[in-house]
Amino acid sequence: MSRRAYISFLISAARRDASPYLARCALTLWLSAIPGSTGRIVFTIIFVMGIPILPQRKRLPHEIPPWVGQGARHFITINALRRTSAPFGSDEIASALLRNLLVYEDLDRWHLWLAVVMPDHLHFIATFALEHGLAASIAAWKGYQTKTLKLQFQSGFFEHRLRDEAEFTEKAAYVRENPVRKGLVTDATAWPYLYTAFESNR
């Protein structure tokens, strides 16, 4: 396979898999044919510093579709920006996050079914008020935490609509057992930053 053909192959694979690494490999081969130091300088900047050269995938919208009923329940995950530092790990911060989830219920942004705050992320299951919008409500909540608690979050959030009672039961168990899976407690009920609407601990 010629150099040109191999570069084309790497570029195609990079675009197919959205892989900046493969794209930088293709660019490395192309730059190696440039005489002098120009190619080496550009290569150093791009490859060593890891500057992405592929267009980023578009973010999927999180708005509730009009055909979803008012009673739909959604499983939400929000991550801290730097998860390794466990920014939600202190009692003060974890308690405030859990309390502020309930504040937004009082503001009629959502009905909270279940929530757990972990040291570096949080999960909750809620039914959202359609007039406010799912994405707008979560963005407003995150913004309030950033302003009042000085927390930083990863962009966006993960959302999954729970289609039936069986899926709700499965995700509810996942949320409750999260501290146990992470080795933080041996009994889920011992985790202090857990809220369940059916066993209210407000």
Torsion of CA 123, 181, 179, 119, to 10 degrees: -70
Q: Can you list the domains of the chain with their CATH numbers?
A: 3-49 (no CATH), 73-199 (3.30.70.1290)
pTM of the model: 0.64
Strand-pair partners of 73: 162
> What span, in angstroms and rounded, lies between the C-alpha atoms of 147 and 136?
16
Q: What is the pLDDT along the chain (202 residues), one digit of tens a residue?
A: 565 665 565 456 545 554 454 445 444 544 455 455 444 444 444 444 444 444 443 444 445 444 345 678 999 999 999 888 888 999 999 999 999 999 998 888 998 999 999 999 999 999 998 888 899 999 999 999 999 999 999 999 999 999 899 999 999 999 999 999 999 999 999 999 999 986 644 4
Cα-based distances in Å from 19 to 44, 84, 95: 18, 24, 39
